[in-house]
């Protein structure tokens, strides 16, 4: 089995994949997700042929309302407001008290 076959995978929008290595250092998922540290692969949601391998360095869980500028900048956003607006668009059911899992990574 190759290293690539051992990677855990997660979907990511193609526009966000282009930001990896250019400032994007995290991705956020609604809910209390179990994500292991180590090798990881993002797969484009649009066509599933575009992939990017990363190393997960840290997993943080916060309430939606407690997401901050560090999370926003790490996610490739210019401000907290832009991050919150996009997350509410992706997860229209989100409530302030909901848990968000923040997966921090380094590009390989």
pLDDT less than 50: residues of the chain? 1-6
The candidate with the shortest Cα–Cα distance to 22, out of 61, 59, 52, 62, is 52
Beta bridge partners of 103: 27, 59
Please give the residue range of the domain that contains residue 14: 3-107
pLDDT for 7 equals 55
Instruction: Count structural domains, the chain.
Output: 1
- What count of residues does the chain have? 108
Residue 2: per-residue pLDDT: 44
We report the CATH number of the domain holding residue 91 as 3.10.400.10
Q: Are 78 and 69 spatial neighbours (Cβ–Cβ below 8 Å)?
A: no
% of the chain surpassing 90 pLDDT: 70
């Amino acid at each position: 089995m190759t290293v690539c076959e051992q990677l855990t995978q997660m979907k990511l929008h193609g526009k966000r994949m282009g930001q990896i290595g250019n400032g994007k250092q995290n991705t956020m998922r609604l809910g209390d997700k179990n994500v292991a540290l180590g090798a990881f692969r993002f797969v484009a949601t649009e066509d599933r042929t575009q992939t990017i391998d990363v190393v997960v360095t840290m997993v943080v869980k916060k309430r939606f309302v407690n997401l901050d500028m560090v999370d926003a900048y790490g996610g490739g956003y210019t401000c907290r407001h832009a991050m919150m607006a996009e997350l509410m668009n992706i997860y229209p059911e989100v409530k302030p008290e909901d848990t968000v899992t923040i997966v921090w990574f380094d590009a390989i």
